[in-house]
Amino acid sequence: MAYTTNGGNGEYSYSNNSSFQRGAADAAKELINEAIAEKLDIQNFSSSNTFRVTDLGCSVGPNTILAMQNIVDAVELKYQSQGHNTPEFQVFFNDNVSNDFNTLFTSLPPDRKYYAAAVPGSFYSRLFPNASLHFAFSSYALQCLSQVPKEVLDKSSSAWNKGRIHYSNASDKVVQSYAAQYAQDMECFLNARAQEVVYGGFMVIIIPGRPNGLPHSQAMVNMVGEILGSCLLDIAKKGIISEEKVDTFNLPTYFASPQEVEAIVERNGCFCLERMEILPQAIPSGNFSRGKVMSSQIRAGMEGMFKEHFGEEIIDELFDALHKKLDESSIFESGNGSNLFVLLNRMATV
């Protein structure tokens, strides 16, 4: 159930609705610069005159373009500061096949310092040749599961998630199903990247998540999921969609804690966890409706998935309702909006 952000440049395009994600990217920028300056060992790459970078789950920009530019600049600086010739850079923009790569290509800066390429396909499987990447980056993408865990949609399962569209406030069985799907997806992701990233190569992952010990229900992203579910049930109560339709829908996202990520990385064994940080909340504030901004961003990211399941007719109503309920809620004050920053180093296997 790979889902794709909205393409183009319109009102609900991802291009024009990704400022929350940019907040996390800005906070991560300094950490990435530090990691490259202090920890990246470019001696590992001396046999290659090309430094290859990828953004896994890049969507359509502008965030991906800023992030890739920053990594290229920081690596270039590192080579120069150590008296090495600057390598050539090749940047691979990856996302699902249905991503709007055409729009992404038209927004590439003409004066970029790298050769650009796009790679279509799910990052839960192999995308690149063996040992061909030096730096893999993924921001706001790995919270998307490869699929909704089957049990939560299965009436005969004890993990059936009736009346809800997510695991927050659901039964333990539902939460466990989601956590297991996440662990399994991450294992696929790490195994694929372990083949593709050279020894000594870096991987940076930024995901919306939650601090250790925080109940799922107090993470802002999960609060939004709850409100979204209640909007759908309201529409069902009006008879516009059936309750059955809501029962057969669950969000394919999971928001992990540092402990969970650490356990998954250790169990996989191919990467060394160099650093993990909780990034500060980055909720835009100002003289505007934060509910509207967040509703539009969720629409840009997930509209396609809702259209496919519920039909196009309910989309405007759904996101209008979400906007209003978000503004009436206290989630921007009481919810925890943590993002996790994870820096991994591809270890040579012993």
Residue 308 binds a copy of itself, judged by CB under 8 A: no
Stretch that binds a copy of itself, among 122-130, 172-180, 181-189, 333-341 (CB under 8 A): 122-130
Question: Measuring CA to CA, which residue among 76, 81, 104, 17 is closest to residue 295?
Answer: 17
> What's the per-residue H, E or C state across 300-337?
HHHHHHHHHHHCHHHHHHHHHHHHHHHHHCCHHHHCEC
The answer to whether 125 contacts a copy of itself (rule: CB under 8 A) is: no
Q: Is residue 118 a contact residue for a copy of itself (CB under 8 A)?
A: yes
Residue 142 three-state SS: coil
What's the min distance (Å) between Cβ of 219 and a copy of itself?
Answer: 34
Residue 132 lies near a copy of itself (rule: CB under 8 A): yes
Q: Which of 10, 109, 120, 215 is in the footprint of a copy of itself by CB under 8 A?
A: 120
| Number of Cβ within a 10 Å radius of residue 199 | 13
What CA–CA distances, in Å, run from 119 to 8, 53, 56, 233, 238?
Answer: 18, 12, 9, 38, 43
Complex with a copy of itself: residue 118 or 276, whichever CB lies closer:
118
Q: How far is the CB of 53 from a copy of itself (least distance, A)?
A: 12
Q: Does 115 bind a copy of itself (CB under 8 A)?
A: yes
The continuous run of DSSP H or E covering 178 comes out as helix 172-196
Q: Which whole-number Å values give the CA distances from 245 to 42, 60, 164, in the listed order?
A: 53, 30, 11
Instruction: Calculate the dihedral angle through the C-alpha atoms of 68, 120, 205, 168, rounding to the nearest 10 degrees.
Output: 130
Q: Does 116 bind a copy of itself (CB under 8 A)?
A: yes
Q: Would you give the binding string for a copy of itself spanning residues 247-286, x where CB under 8 A is met?
A: ----------------------------------------
| Nearer to a copy of itself (CB atom), residue 122 or residue 338 | 122
Q: Does 108 bind a copy of itself (CB under 8 A)?
A: yes
Smaller CB distance to a copy of itself: residue 91 or 294?
Answer: 91
Q: CA–CA separation, 60 vs 104, rounded Å?
A: 5
130 sits near a copy of itself (criterion: CB under 8 A): yes
Q: Is 194 in the site for a copy of itself (CB under 8 A)?
A: no
- Of the two residues 103 and 338, which places its CB atom closer to a copy of itself in the complex? 103
Site size toward a copy of itself (CB under 8 A) is 28
Range 82-101, binding a copy of itself (CB under 8 A):
88-90, 92, 97-98, 100-101
Site for a copy of itself in 34-63 (CB under 8 A): 49-50
What residues does 121 pair with on adjacent strands?
none
**186, 264 contact by CB (below 8 A):** yes
Name the residue nearer to a copy of itself (CB basis): 113 or 292: 113
Structural contact between residues 250 and 161, judged by C-beta atoms closer than 8 angstroms = yes
Report whether 344 contacts 269 (CB < 8 A): no
Residues facing residue 56 across a β-bridge: 94
Stretch that binds a copy of itself, among 18-26, 125-133, 169-177, 263-271 (CB under 8 A): 125-133
Q: Which stretch binds a copy of itself (CB under 8 A): 128-136, 152-160, 228-236, 319-327?
A: 128-136
Would you tell me how many other CB atoms lie within 10 Å of the CB of residue 259? Answer: 12
How many C-beta atoms surround the C-beta of residue 126 within 10 A? 15
Task: Tell me: does residue 121 bind a copy of itself (CB under 8 A).
Answer: yes
Q: Which is nearer to a copy of itself, 25 or 127 (CB)?
A: 127
Q: Which residues bind a copy of itself (CB under 8 A)?
A: 49-50, 88-90, 92, 97-98, 100-102, 105-106, 108, 115-121, 126-132
